[in-house]
Amino acid sequence: MTENKTIDINALRGAFKEGATPNELDYGTLIDLASVGSKALGAATTDATTPVPGHGLEAPGGKLAVKAGKGVAVGGRGWR
Question: Residue ranges per domain, the chain?
Answer: 9-66
Distance CA(51)–CA(42), nearest Å, equals: 6
CA atoms within 13 A on the CB side of 33: 14
To the question of pTM greater than 0.85 for the whole model, the response is no
- CA 43 to chain CA centroid, Å, is 10
pLDDT in tens, the chain (80 residues): 556 789 999 999 999 999 999 999 999 999 999 988 888 878 888 888 787 777 778 878 878 788 777 766 677 776 65
